[in-house]
């Protein structure tokens, strides 16, 4: 199984985690283990890496790639459940957490997974192939209004209403079964333009809906911060404006937002701070990385440090 995935901002993430040799670290989006392998290189025999992924294919590849290391635990689950995962492992504090959000290069390139608008495959788009909701169900059963809202909100597609209308008209004749069929509907709905494939935004939107990538993210960030040991760090890479907005908001609130009127000599509002945002502005990939890996161009890295003792 080919699982090629260039880890985005690898050096920046490793530096951001400030890895301790005997620490406990969580890679909540294990993928092809690109980030995890670098974390493990910096751990001694007393350190531990916990790798979480909802994609069983990713876990199989990661286990093979990291088989030289004995200080690893692999979990088939969603990083949104990080609090419950760690409780199940009887781990009550970790020194660092990394979340590299979005879809992996492997998932995009593996045609039979249905993530790509190139070629033809069954409409699927599930990161976790054991879940029931897939792209076929979204496209063929959601109301026209819901489809339009999803495509507009998650895909930022200005022709969302026209695309939703044409999807509904097409499925009245026969169910939409393949990525190619969906692409043809989108191409009929969107004026020809030069800035990328016309189906890119709609496919992104449906993928986000299928995998519920946005709604739980705010709580996932808050839970991750709560799971950190004092001075532990959370590093999050986002690829979508809505992801970044949720991460930024959760980190800002964890840092503490004072609501006192200006001019008071000290805080009276009872603000509670759980730590500090290290990245007042997100870190973005270098020009060299963006040129070498086009999928890194929209990436943003935000880092939070848990309050010390």
Q: Which of 227, 281, 216 is nearest to 254 (CA)?
A: 227
pLDDT (tens, 9 = 90+) of the chain, 309 residues, equals: 455 567 999 999 999 999 999 999 999 999 889 999 999 999 999 999 999 999 998 899 999 999 999 999 999 999 999 999 999 999 999 999 999 997 766 666 666 788 888 888 999 999 998 999 999 999 999 999 999 999 999 999 999 999 999 999 999 999 999 999 999 999 999 987 756 789 999 999 999 999 999 999 999 999 999 999 999 999 999 999 999 999 999 999 999 988 888 888 887 787 889 999 999 999 999 999 999 988 899 999 999 999 987
Q: How far apart are the first and last CA of the chain?
A: 46
Q: State the architecture of 116-211 in CATH terms.
A: Orthogonal Bundle (1.10)
Distance between CA atoms of 5 and 107, rounded to whole angstroms? 9
Q: Where along the chain do the CATH 1.10.150.170 domains lie? A: 116-211
Phi first, then psi, for residue 277 (nearest 5°) are -80, 120
Predicted pLDDT at 259: 80
* CB contact burial 28-50 (16+ within 10 A = b; e otherwise): bbbbbbbbbbbbbeebeeebbbb
Predicted pLDDT at 271: 82
Structure token digits, residue 199 = 């189906």
Backbone conformation region of residue 128, classed left if phi is above 0, alpha if psi is from -120 to 50, else beta = beta
Q: Where along the chain do the CATH 3.40.50.150 domains lie? A: 10-102+214-306
Predicted pLDDT at 1: 47
Distance between CA atoms of 108 and 25, rounded to whole angstroms? 27
Strand 275-277 and strand 300-306: the pairing is antiparallel
For residue 131, the 8-state DSSP code is S
> Which H or E run includes 233?
strand 228-238
CB 281 within 8 A of CB 274: no
Burial of 11 (C-beta count, 10 Å sphere; 0-12/13-18/19+): exposed
Q: Which of 114, 129, 131 is nearest to 58 (CA)?
A: 129
Distances in whole angstroms, Cα of residue 307 to Cα of each of 21, 31, 244, 262, 266: 20, 29, 22, 25, 20
Distance between CA atoms of 186 and 163, rounded to whole angstroms? 6
Give the number of C-alpha atoms closer than 13 A to the C-alpha of residue 125, restricted to the C-beta side. Answer: 28
Report residue 129 CA to chain centroid gap. 17
In terms of C-beta distances under 8 Å and separation of at least 24 residues, what long-range contacts does 118-125 make, across chains too? 118/197, 119/179, 119/180, 120/178, 120/179, 120/180, 121/178, 121/179, 122/177, 122/178, 122/179, 123/176, 123/177, 123/178, 123/179, 123/182, 125/203, 125/206, 125/207, 125/210, 125/211
Q: Which of 176, 197, 166, 171 is nearest to 124 (CA)?
A: 176
For residue 113, the 8-state DSSP code is G
CATH classification (class only), 10-102+214-306: alpha beta
């Amino acid at each position: 199984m080919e699982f090629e995935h260039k880890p985005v901002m690898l050096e920046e993430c490793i530096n951001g985690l400030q890895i301790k040799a005997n620490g406990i670290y969580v890679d909540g989006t294990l993928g092809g283990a690109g980030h995890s392998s670098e974390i493990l290189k910096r751990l001694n025999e007393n350190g531990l890496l916990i790798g979480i992924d909802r994609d069983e294919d990713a876990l199989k590849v990661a286990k093979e790639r990291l088989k030289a290391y004995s200080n690893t635990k692999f979990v088939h689950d969603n990083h949104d459940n990080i609090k419950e995962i760690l409780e199940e492992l009887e781990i009550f504090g970790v020194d660092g957490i990394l979340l590299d959000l979005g879809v992996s290069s492997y998932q995009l390139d593996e045609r039979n997974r249905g993530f790509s608008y190139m070629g033809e495959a069954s409409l699927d788009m599930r990161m976790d192939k054991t879940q029931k909701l897939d792209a076929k169900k979204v496209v063929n059963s959601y109301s026209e209004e819901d489809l339009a809202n999803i495509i507009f909100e998650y895909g930022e597609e200005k022709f969302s209403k026209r695309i939703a209308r044409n999807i509904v008209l097409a499925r009245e004749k026969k169910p939409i079964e393949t990525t190619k069929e969906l692409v043809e509907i989108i191409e009929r709905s969107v004026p020809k333009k030069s800035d990328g494939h016309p189906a890119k935004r709609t496919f992104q939107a449906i993928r986000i809906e299928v995998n519920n990538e946005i709604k739980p993210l705010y709580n996932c960030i808050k839970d991750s911060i709560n799971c950190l040991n004092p001075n532990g760090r959370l590093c999050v890479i986002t690829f979508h404006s809505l992801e970044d907005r949720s991460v930024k908001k959760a980190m800002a609130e964890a840092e503490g937002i004072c609501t006192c009127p200006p001019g008071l000599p000290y805080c009276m509002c009872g603000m509670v701070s759980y730590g500090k945002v290290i990245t007042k502005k997100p870190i973005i990939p270098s020009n060299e990385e963006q040129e070498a890996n086009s999928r890194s161009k929209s990436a943003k890295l935000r880092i939070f440090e848990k309050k010390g003792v």
